[in-house]
Amino acid sequence: MVKKVILILLFTIHGFCQDPFDPFDLSFDENIPVEDKTADELLLDAITLLQDERPLDARSRLIQAIKKDPRNIRAHSLLGHYYMAYVGHFRLAERYVEKAFSLFYEQFGEPPYYDSFTESTHMHLYNLRSQSKLNLDLYQEALEVLDEFARHGYMAAWYPASRSWIMMKLGNIQDAIRVARAGVMSGAEPGRTLNMLGILLSMNQQPKESISIFEAAIDLEESLGRLGNPATPLNNMGEVYEEMFDDKNAEIAYTRALGKQDGCEHILPALNLALLYMDQLNLLGAKKAIDNFEACVAQFPLRNGEEHRAFVHLARGRVALYSGDVDGAIKHFEAALEKKQWFGKIGTSIEDLQAGVMQSLAQSLRAKNNIVKTTKLTILERASEIWANLKRSIRAYWLEREAKQILIETLRDFEDLKIRNTDSMLEYPTLGGLLSSIPRSFILPRLEKQKVLDQRAHAQAFYNLYEAKINEDEALTYEVLSKLRPKYDELLRTEALNILADNSEEYRQLLFNRSPAIFRNHGHRLPVKLIPNERWTRQLISRTPFKVSDDSLFSISFEKADDTLEISFVSSRPTTQNSRASGQDEEAVMRSLVDSIFKEQIN
Amino acid sequence: MRFLLLTMAIVAVDFVLPFGTHPAILSIGILGGVIVGSRASNLKLLGVLLITTIGGALSINLVGLILALFGNSSLKSYSIFLHLQAVMFIFFLTFILTWAVKKYRAAFLVELGLILTVVVGSLATHRNLQLDMPKIINDLSWQLGVSPLTTFSAFGVIVALLAVIYGALSVRQFNDQRAAISKRLSIFGIFLSTFIFLLIGYLSFFGISRYYQEKGEAFFSNGVGQGSEEGLSPLTFESALGSTNQPAGLVRLESDYTMNPTSPMLYLRESALSKYNGKELVLSGIDDDISRDSPSVSFSQVRKEVISRSELTQEIYLLADHKNPFAIDYPKLLTPLKNPNPGRFKGGAYRALSFSLGLKLETLRNTPVGDPLWDNNKRANYLAAHTDPRYHELAKKITADSPTPFDSIKRIVDYLAQFTIYTLTPNHPASDDPVAPYLFGDGRGYCVHIAHATVYLLRAIGIPSRIATGYLTDLSQAKDGHILLRMSDRHAWAEVYFQDYGWIAFDTQPLQVESHADTEVDQGLLEELMNLVNPAEELVPELPAKKDSESTSFSFAWLKPALVIMFATLFFFVVLSKILLLKGYLLFPSLLKIGVFAKLMDIGFKRNYGETRLNFIKRVRKSHGSDLEEFIKLLNEEKYKNKNPVWSVFRLTFTKDRLPTSLKLRRIGKPVQTGLNLSKFETFRSLFNLKSIFNWWFKRRW
């Protein structure tokens, strides 16, 4: 009896699945040859295949459909959509959309239309046309498309968000806000429109309103379950918090974004989190954020990944630089500089990334030169290093020159000088180095102007530190140091300490305690007590990042037993880790000790 | 001339290493430097150094001060300052170089060395035939439709010839005295030397490019060349360092390969090496699943024995010549396609319908290897093991207690991956068994060594295997199912035959990588090729040309019209100048003097430094017979006394009360022309000599 019941139940379920009138069942028989299908059948197949994430099969069927029916509007518009959404080949997408438009006018004539199907097709084509123009950065043309759309008396859910986006791109923020607000009130594509409004309000210096809008957008996206995209508004909210120097909430927002189903659809939450951790000198956290992102992307073998490679290299390069792996950092930055694609981040252009990478690469090259100065080399190595050193210095100068030209000429009179400008990829805590290479008569007036323009209290600490670096003003540096936040401003703190470290033993030791790698990158030498202080031990620490000082908190002791030398580094400070190295080759043991002290293991 | 040469050098360097300041702006600095440097040739070194250091520092600071004062808190003025700094730097550099070249004979060698260092330094990334960077070589080759190797060879030869010519011209400048004596021979000399130069250039160009294209084919394709002759191997064991990113082909997938067991990597088989000849594996006639014809010939096979495979259509467009076609897995059908762009796809195009594998490799765990339907000959071919017992011993050791052949294969692959190092430069000494130094030596090798070692070890334990060659590509770098294959993607890997499933790739990837040629695919190039092969080209019309913000790559489309305009302009000015030098005195009387000296120059007579006009004319009369002493006396008289009314016609000072110009000129011009005493041949020859024109344009000393 039970068996019978189960069988009946199974048949019922099976029968339901096989319902030929089920509107949600889009499956098709793949055994029917493509040649035997009509254009409309192929079109339906393509829609199903796109949903099944088989884009190439879908593309082939759409092309077949067009070959069978060259006047098929839907096939053309769907191919346009395919090239826009799945491939990112906007020029080709535009061609298909334009062809669809011309076919539409051939078949239905000029508007007005008196049936809803024709009208909605026309409206849909306008949407595609405006999107293709927008993606080709033809903002004025995109706006004209929307104007034409409105002149026909049309209204669609996508319209407000698209229009406000285009207006934002054209720099008309106030009108963009008005359009987005009207869109929100009319309930047009609420998720996208709310997100757009949040961005616009943040650009209009209304961060608190922006955050409340993003919260509404997040709630809405989360209510959609698997179909929602909450990571986007969460990431945007994090960026606004970051601009407000509310790092705690920014971290929470990015972490939440990464936990969502669409968390690795784009690199931005992971990258923003990694850069936030960099400011805190939490290198392990930064590395993990990028590692997790890459592991997540690896789930999608067909994803091109081109859009995020430069960002990954930038973040990994900065982690390597501050963990003492300068060679690795240089390689990463060079790889990032090779990439010349557009990254999809609102407002972020190739130039933004290039300037950021150039700043970091120049910094790494200088760090390399400083490290070489405190590295034991053979005569031959030293001779070849003279040329290499010169090349690195010239390259660093040249990169900084290029970065400055980009920042001034392409990015509108150094608009990225505003601390934590969302679009920028500059490293703000260390930007003082780049600014100090500009003559004072040029940079100081600009800095003063920026200080007046930027009313955020904590931003002043950055500007003041830049000024202190430019003027080599120790008093101002002390003042900045006292205002830095614990945990969140660690990288900025090392910059301040570095300014003071030149003339103060105490600050040099403080810098070492904060980050031995940064200490070495700047070419400082750590005073150490030698035990025993003999000629051979002094010789052994020559050309290393140490110098002899009898009243230092740090000591290096040498012990020889048989043929083995053991060198120990001991600190009287509890925060500094003691190190030890041993072996038969004295120079190799010393190198190993230096590496263990000045390189941070973050695996 | 100097200005032109240095400007060209600046433009060339700007391609490779952008200055950030437009070369046209920098050329102002060059022009200034050349003029001031030439004028200052009498200065001593100390004076030059003082001018350079003090003048440079003062001017740069002064400019900086002025800009800062009027900058209005904007950094735009700093940006202008940066450009001016670059111009001034170039100015002082050119100034010093020009002064040095004028002052010291040896300085030109320094300058030549400097120019060559810049050129060689800019192209240093091409060492070992790495032809993918900097982009200028590839871009230019792409526009011209030739291989980067050809462009590079031509470029090298041109630079060398230019260096020799530049050197020769610079030497001449100091040897005017000596050169003047042999002026009569110079025309012949120029023709001869040009001919010799061109011949040397031609021979070296074809020698270099042919050598690398024929002998070094495998060298710059990851050690994996092409071949279809039985008994031979297209693989090389010595080095794969020249591996280059030269585009080889474009694959367009017509369907999704969702069941790819090696995803995201994709293997495209071109050839198979299964016959062991005592030294290495070579091509044999037994592998009937491989097409041995050219890609333009159709190929079909019916394979019933393979299961778990689905049909996959690909279109393959060959950017370089290929001896055999390649495709994913088992090609069921290969049919030639209409080539959408024969200029670009030089190797042709074809469509492949493959039986592509669609299973997880783990499912083969209990599957027997080999095929019971094979005859003895075939079985022996795939099992022919290496005679060296060490292979057998090692294979036994690695696979001891392996429950199934699949486990044995996995263990061998894992062993090689763990204990060997991938390098393009194994540097092993030549040997009868080139695999032994890799497997039993330092473990350093590339795909050719690794694939051989895998097959030898597999065959040692009775697993039928072979080496497949072709391309290994990363699907994650594809776009819209389009894969750009480069020469650096050429690869060799091991394959094992599983009963009912057929040949399956087992590629060993060492965990330690010392060097590899992997770089990311040029997405711009991929997109350009996609457009060429997309059916959309036939389906949708091209939009009217407009600003395409996506396109950021540098285009050489302007080069052809620009060159035509440039040469047309140059030709026009040359002809105009020649006419003016010959008959210009009819309109501008002062040109008579220049015309006479120009004619003398064009037949090989030039006034030396320090030589008076009269002495010069006497020298000309002695060796040539021209009698122009009266004319020169008249000139001198006019120049130094400025009294002779007749001479006034040369200086355009005649007035209404004097005779008409044409009459006077005829009176003086005719005897002057007669006095030149030129033969018809000399007159004809002088017409084609451009020396006087260049002298007129650039030197203006007669």
Say if the Cβ atoms of A408 and B75 lie within 8 Å.
yes
How near does any CA of chain B get to the CA of A444, in Å?
Answer: 8
Rounded Cα gap, residues A589 and A23, in angstroms: 74
How near does any CA of chain A get to the CA of B481, in Å?
Answer: 6
Tell me which chain B residue has its CA closest to the CA of residue A103.
Answer: B540
Candidates B256, B477, B540; nearest CB to A304: B477
| Residues near B638 by beta carbon (within 8 Å), at least 6 away in sequence | B644, B647, B648, B650, B651
Give kind and range of the element (H or E) at residue B445.
strand B444-445
pLDDT of A387 above 80: yes
B408 vs A343, residue with greater confidence: B408
Residue of A30, A79, A304, A416 to mutate, testing the B interface (most B Cβ within 10 Å of its Cβ)? A304
- In angstroms, how far is CA B363 from the centroid of its own chain? 49
Candidates B255, B536, B547; nearest CB to A96: B536
Residue of A302, A341, A453 to mutate, testing the B interface (most B Cβ within 10 Å of its Cβ)? A302
Peptide bond into A112 cis (omega under 30): yes
Q: B67: which chain A residues are within 8 Å (Cβ-Cβ)?
A: 442
| Residues near A597 by beta carbon (within 8 Å), at least 6 away in sequence | A516, A569, A579
Candidates B68, B76, B263; nearest CB to A413: B76
Tell me which chain A residue has its CA closest to the CA of residue B550.
Answer: A136
Q: B529: which chain A residues are within 8 Å (Cβ-Cβ)?
A: none
Q: B516: which chain A residues are within 8 Å (Cβ-Cβ)?
A: none
pLDDT digits (tens, 9 = 90+) for A472-518: 999 999 999 999 999 999 999 999 999 999 888 889 989 998 999 99
- Decide if A52 touches B, using CB distance below 8 A: no
- What pLDDT score does A462 carry? 96
Residue position matching structure tokens 């990113």: B245
For residue B392, give both structure tokens: 């057998």
pLDDT of B392 above 50: yes
pLDDT of A6 above 50: no
Please provide the size of chain A in residues.
603
Q: A579 - beta bridge partners? A: A569
| Residues near A255 by beta carbon (within 8 Å), at least 6 away in sequence | A273
Q: B314 - beta bridge partners? A: B253, B352
Candidates A91, A405, A414; nearest CB to B548: A91
- What pLDDT score does B93 carry? 87
The answer to whether residues B154 and B137 touch, using CB atoms and an 8 Å cutoff, is no
How near does any CA of chain B get to the CA of A283, in Å?
Answer: 26
- Decide if A309 touches B, using CB distance below 8 A: yes
Say if the Cβ atoms of A56 and B481 lie within 8 Å.
yes
Q: B76: which chain A residues are within 8 Å (Cβ-Cβ)?
A: 408-409, 413
Say if the Cβ atoms of A89 and B530 lie within 8 Å.
yes
pLDDT digits (tens, 9 = 90+) for A14-23: 444 445 455 5
How near does any CA of chain B get to the CA of A36, in Å?
Answer: 18
B182 vs B608, residue with greater confidence: B608
How near does any CA of chain A get to the CA of B55, in Å?
Answer: 19
How near does any CA of chain B get to the CA of A256, in Å?
Answer: 28
pLDDT digits (tens, 9 = 90+) for B591-630: 777 888 888 888 878 887 778 888 888 888 877 777 777 7
Name the nearest CA neighbour of B68 among A527, A268, A438, A493. Answer: A438
pLDDT digits (tens, 9 = 90+) for A286-297: 999 999 888 887
- Decide if A444 touches B, using CB distance below 8 A: no
| pTM (predicted TM-score) | 0.68
Say if the Cβ atoms of B76 and A95 lie within 8 Å.
no
* Cβ within 8 Å of B, A 339-368: 340-341, 350
pLDDT of A228 above 60: yes
Residues B29, B32, B37, B40, CA torsion sign: negative
pLDDT of A257 above 90: yes
- Decide if B77 touches A, using CB distance below 8 A: yes
The predicted model gives B370-397 an average pLDDT of 92
| Residues near B699 by beta carbon (within 8 Å), at least 6 away in sequence | none
- What pLDDT score does A576 carry? 65
Candidates B64, B258, B531; nearest CB to A439: B64
Say if the Cβ atoms of A70 and B71 lie within 8 Å.
no
For residue B548, give both structure tokens: 């395409």
What amino acid is encoded at A53 in this protein?
Answer: E
Choice among A117-121, B14-18, B404-408 with the minimum mean pLDDT = B14-18
At B638, is the pLDDT very low, low, confident or very high (cuts 50, 70, 90)?
low
For residue B202, give both structure tokens: 């031609």
pLDDT of B451 above 90: yes
Task: Return contacts of A471-474, CB within 8 angstroms, 24+ apart.
Answer: A471/A440, A471/A444, A472/A499, A474/A499, A474/A500, A474/A503
Q: B475: which chain A residues are within 8 Å (Cβ-Cβ)?
A: 301-302
Candidates B71, B476, B531; nearest CB to A303: B476
Say if the Cβ atoms of B75 and A95 lie within 8 Å.
no
Say if the Cβ atoms of A413 and B75 lie within 8 Å.
yes
**Phi, psi dihedrals of residue A152, rounded to the nearest 5°:** -75, 0
Tell me which chain A residue has its CA closest to the CA of residue B66.
Answer: A441
Say if the Cβ atoms of B79 and A409 lie within 8 Å.
yes
- What pLDDT score does B96 carry? 87
pLDDT digits (tens, 9 = 90+) for A141-183: 999 999 999 999 998 999 999 999 999 988 899 999 999 999 9
Residue position matching structure tokens 């355009």: B652
Rounded Cα gap, residues A467 and A463, in angstroms: 6
- Decide if B121 touches A, using CB distance below 8 A: no
How near does any CA of chain A get to the CA of B259, in Å?
Answer: 11
- What pLDDT score does A515 carry? 92
pLDDT of B553 above 60: no
pLDDT of B647 above 50: no
At B343, is the pLDDT very low, low, confident or very high (cuts 50, 70, 90)?
confident
pLDDT of A303 above 60: no
Q: B542: which chain A residues are within 8 Å (Cβ-Cβ)?
A: 95
User: In chain A, how long is the greatest CA-to-CA distance?
Assistant: 100
Say if the Cβ atoms of B75 and A446 lie within 8 Å.
yes
Rounded Cα gap, residues B241 and B426, in angstroms: 10
The answer to whether residues B701 and B694 touch, using CB atoms and an 8 Å cutoff, is no
- Decide if A34 touches B, using CB distance below 8 A: no
Please give the interface size between A and B, counted as residue pairs whose CB atoms are below 8 Å apart.
Answer: 134
pLDDT digits (tens, 9 = 90+) for A532-544: 888 889 988 888 9
The predicted model gives A429-453 an average pLDDT of 92
- Our CA angle for B234, B239, B244, nearest 5°, is 80
The answer to whether residues A584 and A576 touch, using CB atoms and an 8 Å cutoff, is no
Peptide bond into B134 cis (omega under 30): yes
